Amino acid sequence: MALLARACGPWPLLWSRSVQTVGIRLQSTRLQEDGARSGGLEEEEFRVLNLKQTKSQRLARRKATRPEVPPPRSQQMATDQDWGAVWPGPRTFNPSAVPLPIRQGYVTKRNQMSPGKFANAELMKIPNFLHLTPPVIKRQCEALKQFCTPWPKGLETEEKMRAHYPVTCVTSDYCHALPTIRNPLSRIVTVQVELGALQLDRHARDKLLRLVGERYDPDTDLLTIVTDRCPLKKQNYDYAIYLLTALYHESNTVEPWEATKCEADMEFFDYEQSRSKRNAEATLNWGRKEGDSGWQQVPEAYGEAVSRLFNEGENEYNIAKYKEQTLALLGLAGAEQVAQ
């Protein structure tokens, strides 16, 4: 359109008016009129269409002011301060509150020190016991004394406590760094009891030993029951006490068929009901009847030697003991010494 206006030189004013009539503004009308009046065809300056208003000058960036960081609290602590007030309970490790040069972590180079306490994730991950120092524990024990009762009389020694409380319960608690506080091994419960404290007769003791099997230790006279079937510790403890109660009552139960047992049906050698005792009494009281004034009883040492020989088997000690008691029963102990 500009070239057309220049080509139509005699009518610049008329052309501009027609352009204004259409309503489309291509160039400044004032500039066209000034050019027409001057009569020159000078090129006009190209004006850039600025749709987005931008500031010609940028604002100066605001300078950030950083506050001064105070020194760590551990450098301002007194040596005689109350540590229980600084660390009253369990919490995550805070390096600025612990006046100790603690180090922890893995080193990759030889002769390299472990990382310090500042910005140390290893110290923050693990549980700490900084709240359980000896002075704090002593203070807590003094506060708990008002809720405690005196130690019962008659339980001053371990022997007296075992006599009054023969059952021992052993459990375990674990402290570890895992997502859960429960440890599968903490459910295991061990219950121990001295067999002599159950006051069993010979029949009940033999029956109980056959029921428990290898859970009885003859050297310490302890019966040990370990339970770990239930998921909770309390459930395993109740189950162990139930087993101990069931074993005790079942051992004292005498079935009707047990009264008809003879010597061949016995699970062990019973000297009191054996033929060996009757033969020894007949030999010792030769020519006399049971109930006479001169009737003699077989010594208990002889019965123990015979029972040990049959129940434990033949070995050097049992055979020598049986020989010694037999010679003493027959009155031949002096003859053995003369023969030697």
- 221 and 280 assigned to the same domain: no
Per-residue model confidence (pLDDT) at position 38: 52
Does the pLDDT of residue 340 top 60, yes or no? no
Give the whole-angstrom CA distance, residue 75 versus residue 34.
83
Q: Mean pLDDT across the stretch 206-227?
A: 92
Kindly tell me if the per-residue pLDDT of 5 is higher than 70.
no
**Residue 32 CA, distance from chain mean position:** 96
Spell 273-307 as b/e; 16+ CB within 10 A means b. ebebbeebeeebbeeeeeeeeeeeebeeebbebbb
Query: pLDDT of 60-99, one tens digit each?
Result: 677 788 888 888 888 888 888 899 999 998 999 999 999 9
Task: With cut-offs at 50, 70 and 90, classify the pLDDT of residue 13.
Answer: very low
Does position 272 have pLDDT exceeding 60, yes or no?
Answer: yes
Residue 154: in which H helix or E strand, if any?
none
The per-residue pLDDT of the chain, averaged, comes to 81
How many structural domains compose the chain? 3
Least confident piece of the model among 42-56, 113-127, 156-170, 219-233: 42-56
Entry pTM: 0.51
Q: Is residue 50 part of a domain?
A: no
Same domain, 163 and 196: yes
Collapsing DSSP to helix, strand or coil, 143 comes out as helix
Which range has the worst mean pLDDT, 15-29, 69-83, 253-267? 15-29
Q: Are residues 104 and 132 in the same domain?
A: yes
Mean pLDDT of 16-38: 46
Band the pLDDT of 176: cuts 50, 70, 90. confident
What is the model's pLDDT at position 241? 96
**Domain C-terminal end among 148, 166, 189:** 148
User: Which pLDDT tens digit goes with each residue over 125-172?
Assistant: 888 899 999 999 999 999 999 999 988 888 889 889 988 899 999 999
What's the confidence (pLDDT) of residue 337? 53
Verify that 279 and 245 share a domain, yes or no. Answer: no
Of the listed ranges 54-63, 113-122, 277-286, 295-304, the least confidently predicted one is 54-63
Residue 21 has pLDDT above 50, yes or no: no
Question: 295 falls in which pLDDT band (50, 70, 90)?
Answer: confident
pLDDT at 223 over 90: yes
Domain extent, residue 135, equals 83-148
SS3 189: strand
- 274 lies in some domain: yes
Q: How far apart are CA 156 and CA 167, in angstroms?
A: 18
pLDDT at 41 over 70: no
Average pLDDT (232-258) is: 93
Among 122, 148, 174, the domain boundary falls at 148
Of 231, 260, 289, which residue sits at a domain end? 260
Q: DSSP code of 9?
A: T
Is residue 47's pLDDT more than 70? yes
Angle at alpha carbon of residue 258, lines to 253 and 259, rounded to 5°: 110
CATH at 200:
3.30.160.20
Ranges 9-13, 94-98, 113-117: which has the least confidence: 9-13
Residue 128 lies in a domain: yes
Q: Do 137 and 171 sit in the same domain of this protein?
A: no
CA distance 330 to 321: 14
One domain, residues 229 and 202:
yes
Unique residue bearing structure tokens 């057309």: 4
Q: How confident is the model at residue 8 (pLDDT cuts 50, 70, 90)?
A: very low
Q: Is the pLDDT of residue 56 over 70?
A: no
Q: Is residue 78 part of a domain?
A: no
- Binning pLDDT at 50, 70 and 90, where does residue 2 land? very low
**Given this model, what pLDDT does residue 186 score?**
92
**Helix pair 316-330, 300-312: axis angle to 10 deg:** 150
| Within-domain flag for 8 | no
Q: What is the mean pLDDT of residues 112-130?
A: 90
Q: Is the pLDDT of residue 256 over 60?
A: yes
d(CA 340, CA 329): 19
Whether residue 166 is contained in a domain is answered as yes
At 224 the pLDDT is: 96
HSE of 234, CA atoms in CB hemisphere, 13 A: 0
Could you tell me if 92 and 124 are in contact, meaning their C-beta atoms sit under 8 angstroms apart? yes
